[in-house]
Amino acid sequence: MAGKLTFDDLKKAVADGEIDTVLTVIVDMQGRLMGKRMHAEFFVKTAWEETHCCNYLLATDMEMSTIDGFKATSWEAGYGDYVMKPDLATLRLIPWLEGTALVICDVLDHHTHEEIAHSPRAILKKQIARLNAMGMKASIGSELEFFLFKESYEEAQAKGHRGLTPISGYNEDYHIFQTTKEEDVMRAIRNGLNGADIPVENSKGEACSGQEEINVRYADALTMADRHSIIKNGCKEIAWAKGRSISFMAKWSYDAAGNSSHLHQSLWSLDGQSLFYDPDAEHGMSELMRQYLAGLLYHASEMTYFLAPYINSYKRFMDGTFAPTRAIWSMDNRTAGYRICGADTSGVRVECRIGGADLNPYLAMAAQLAAGIDGIENKRELEPAFVGNAYDGKDAREVPGTLRGALEAFEASDMLRAAMGNDVIDHYLHAGRWEQFEQDRRVTDWEVSRGFERA
């Protein structure tokens, strides 16, 4: 694959003067890339083994604020170091940045060199290891939606993120002529990502003015999560270089559609045979697939926080918008929270449609796998498929409508606590409560406009 680098490839490229910078990064709680720009000569001599970062990077909010109350780190504990251990299997060229490569690091304890349990990559790797012990592996594909704006990030900031101009003036879902007008950015994104060892399938206009979708080929769960984080960072960097801006907010405007991140998932044997496909079963869905899906539904509310991590995430869940409000399953039905794709083929899979583009892919995928494993281990029985418009399913299981409700279900989840550990759940619960606290005390533009004169 273009862009993939071995360590020997990197050393040669550095010696030849082709690469002079190595982005050495971890993934934070929000799914963002954080780290250092290493001089490439230093990286290949020393830093390829390990480097360090402040441990507050896994204990901040979106604003990078140091929040009191985390057990893992604090002012009292002195905010010490974590070890950043490069995973050289993630080493790749970054074509849109001159002379630059990137490597993703695991986060280790500075003293014991054990993985930090609440680091997003470690959380996902733990669920992957559980699957492997059962003789299975997961394939996941994540679709990402975003809005592309005519303004640059700096221009958007100067305008207070108000009155922004989407790149198109009308719904551009599958629209070729409109997306031709956006090719300066979107072609650069497709080719840039493809050249960074992220195999792009396509981009397309989405169901709103200025909305885009990027689709890449599915992969094993960890590889897909790594790619997902690089995709988001890369799209922003490429748009910025073109004088444009991109937003992955779940709901950037009341009048606009939301941004989703659908997760397509299936299980396979370690030798590559589909465990979801049974040609003799209804819709080709094996008993194991039905148990896995039953687990997703049984624990749907508990997992929502890892699919919708912010106050804004819940503004996306609106009837009639292609964002699901019911956590039910259905056959090839885009109104359902869980949709079956590829029925009666070896590609049969579950598409979780609940997550927004603001999710952390490692946490979202880990929660899905943990719930699916629970369904298999407990041989949960799958409820009948929903038929029809799920928005009209008033008695159907609902997706939590607020962060507060999702956090209550998350806190009470025995399944997630058993799968991930109490300390991990409590760490992210504290982060979610801080998000809720921050919103609760803020005065919004809507409140002022509505009540300034009339209250």
Indicate whether 123 belongs to any domain. no
CATH number at residue 325: 3.30.590.10
**18 part of a folded domain:** yes
Strand partners, 135: none
Residues 300 and 409 in one domain: yes
**CA torsion, ordered 33, 38, 44, 45, to nearest 10 deg:** -130
> Torsions phi, psi of 93, nearest 5?
-75, 145
What is the mean predicted confidence (pLDDT) over 178-193? 97
Question: What does the angle CA 399 – CA 403 – CA 406 come to, to the nearest 5 degrees?
Answer: 50
Residues 232 and 334 in one domain: yes
Query: How far apart (Å, rounded) are the C-alpha atoms in residues 34 and 218?
Result: 24
Among 60, 91, 118, identify where a domain stops: 118
- Report the alpha-carbon distance of residue 261 to residue 174 in Å, rounded: 18
Segment among 73-77, 104-108, 225-229 with least mean pLDDT: 73-77
338 shares its domain with 362 = yes
Both 334 and 273 in one domain: the answer is yes
pLDDT tens-digit series, residues 80-116: 999 999 999 999 999 999 999 999 999 999 999 999 9
pLDDT digits (tens, 9 = 90+) for 387-409: 999 999 888 999 999 999 999 99
Which token pair is 180? 């031709």
* Residue pLDDT, tens place only, 232-249: 999 999 999 999 999 999
Across the chain, what does the average pLDDT equal? 96
Going across the sheet that includes 211-216, the strands are 200-205, 211-216, 144-149, 245-247
Q: Residue 445: enclosing H or E segment and its boundaries?
A: helix 445-451
Domain boundaries, position 342: 133-449
**84 and 161, same domain (yes or no):** no
Please check the confidence at residue 455 and state whether its pLDDT lies above 90: yes
Same domain flag for 140 and 288: yes
Query: How many Cβ atoms are within 10 Å of 270's Cβ, its own excluded?
Result: 11
Segment (H or E) for 349? strand 349-352
Out of 88, 118, 148, a domain closes at 118
Within a domain: residue 290?
Answer: yes
If DSSP codes are grouped into helix, strand and coil, which group holds residue 156? helix
Q: State the pLDDT confidence band at 76, using cuts at 50, 70 and 90.
A: confident
Where do the DSSP E strands lie in 47-128?
A: 51-54, 81-86, 92-93, 100-109
The answer to the question of residue 2 being in a domain is: no
Which pLDDT score is estimated for 393?
87
Q: How far is CA 156 from CA 13, 239, 240, 254, in A?
A: 38, 13, 11, 18
Specify the pLDDT at position 28.
97
The answer to whether 181 and 164 have CB atoms below 8 angstroms apart is no
Cα distances from 53 to residues 20, 85, 279, in angstroms, run: 21, 11, 51
- Residue 302: both structure tokens together: 């508990």
Residues 263 and 290 in one domain: yes
Query: What would the mean pLDDT of 136-159 be, rounded to a whole number?
Result: 97
Banded model confidence at residue 1, pLDDT cuts 50, 70, 90: low
Residue 261, in any domain of the structure: yes
**Pair 294, 341 in one domain:** yes
CA nearest 92: which of 32, 34, 17, 10? 10
Instruction: Tell me, yes or no, whether 74 and 212 share the same domain.
Output: no
417-448: per-residue pLDDT in tens? 999 999 999 999 999 999 999 999 999 999 99
How much is the pLDDT for 27?
Answer: 98
Task: Give the number of other CB atoms < 10 A from CB of residue 117.
Answer: 16
The string of DSSP letters for 249-292 reads -S-S-TTSPPPB--EEEEEEETTS-BSSB-TTSGGGB-HHHHHH
Residue 110 near residue 82, CB atoms below 8 Å: yes
* Alpha-helix runs per DSSP H in 181-220: 183-194
Residue 124 forms part of a structural domain: no
| Number of folded domains that form the chain | 2
- What pLDDT does 371 receive? 98
- Residue ending a domain, choose from 55, 88, 118: 118
Residue among 167, 162, 169, 161 at smallest CA distance from 147: 167
The yes-or-no verdict on residue 72 having pLDDT over 60 is yes
In terms of C-beta distances under 8 Å and separation of at least 24 residues, what long-range contacts does 406-413 make, across chains too? 406/301, 406/304, 406/305, 406/308, 406/314, 406/432, 407/305, 407/432, 407/433, 407/436, 409/301, 409/302, 409/304, 409/305, 410/302, 410/303, 410/304, 410/305, 410/306, 412/302, 413/299, 413/302, 413/303
Residue at 308 is within a domain: yes
Q: What is the pLDDT of residue 252?
A: 96
**Which band of pLDDT confidence, cut at 50, 70 and 90, is reported for residue 70?**
very high
- pLDDT-above-90 percentage for the chain: 96
Residues 164, 237, single domain; the answer is: yes
| Same domain (yes/no): 180, 51 | no
Examine residue 127 and state whether it is found in any structural domain, yes or no.
no
Residue with tokens 């995928």: 365
Instruction: Specify whether 192 is located in the same domain as 68.
Output: no
Can you give the CATH number for the domain in which 52 is found?
3.10.20.70
321 confidence band (pLDDT: 50, 70, 90)? confident
